[in-house]
Amino acid sequence: KSGFVTIIGRPNVGKSTLMNQVIGEKIAIMSDKPQTTRNKIQSVYTENDFQIVFIDTPGIHKPKHKLGEYMVRAAKETLGEVDAILFVVDDSPTIGPGDAFIMEVLKDINTPVILVINKIDKMDQDKFNALYALYKEKEMFSDIVGISALEGANLQVLIDKVVDFL
Ligand code: GDP
Ligand code: MG
Q: What is the ipTM of this complex?
A: 0.99
Nearest CA to ligand 1 atom 6: 14
Q: Characterize 47-67 residue by residue with b for buried, 16 or more Cβ atoms within 10 angstroms of its Cβ, and e for exposed.
A: eeeeebbbbbbebbbeeeeee
Q: What is the pLDDT of residue 38?
A: 47
Q: What is the pLDDT of residue 61?
A: 76
Whole-angstrom Cα distance, residue 103 to residue 109? 10
Q: What is the pLDDT of residue 39?
A: 54
Measured in Å, residue 66 CA sits from the centre of ligand 1 at 30
39 Cβ closer than 6 Å to some ligand 1 atom: no
Measured in Å, residue 100 CA sits from the centre of ligand 1 at 20
Q: What is the pLDDT of residue 79?
A: 92
Q: What is the CATH number of the domain that holds 129?
A: 3.40.50.300
Measured in Å, residue 6 CA sits from the centre of ligand 2 at 13
Q: What is the pLDDT of residue 68?
A: 75
Whole-angstrom Cα distance, residue 155 to residue 22? 7
The helix/strand/coil state of 81 is: helix
Whole-angstrom Cα distance, residue 161 to residue 94? 25
* pLDDT tens across the length of the chain (166 residues): 788 999 999 889 998 888 888 887 444 444 444 444 445 667 888 888 888 888 877 777 777 777 778 878 888 888 999 999 999 999 999 999 999 999 999 999 999 999 999 999 999 999 999 999 999 999 999 999 999 999 999 999 999 999 999 8
Q: What is the pLDDT of residue 27?
A: 46
For residues 8 and 102, is the Cβ–Cβ distance under 8 A? yes
Q: Which helix (H) or strand (E) holds 21?
A: helix 15-23
Q: For residue 28, how many other CB atoms are within 10 A of its CB?
A: 12
For the chain, how many structural domains are there in total?
1
42 Cβ closer than 6 Å to some ligand 1 atom: no
Whole-angstrom Cα distance, residue 120 to residue 107? 26
Q: What is the pLDDT of residue 51?
A: 87
Q: What are phi and psi of 73, to 5 degrees?
A: -60, -45
Nearest CA to ligand 1 atom 2: 12
Ligand nearest to the CA of 15: 1
Residue type, 53: V
14 Cβ closer than 6 Å to some ligand 1 atom: yes
Q: What is the pLDDT of residue 43?
A: 80
For residues 85 and 6, is the Cβ–Cβ distance under 8 A? yes
| Domain, as residue range, for 41 | 2-164
Measured in Å, residue 42 CA sits from the centre of ligand 2 at 12
92 marked as binding residue: no
CB-facing half-sphere around the CA of 109: CA atoms within 13 A: 25
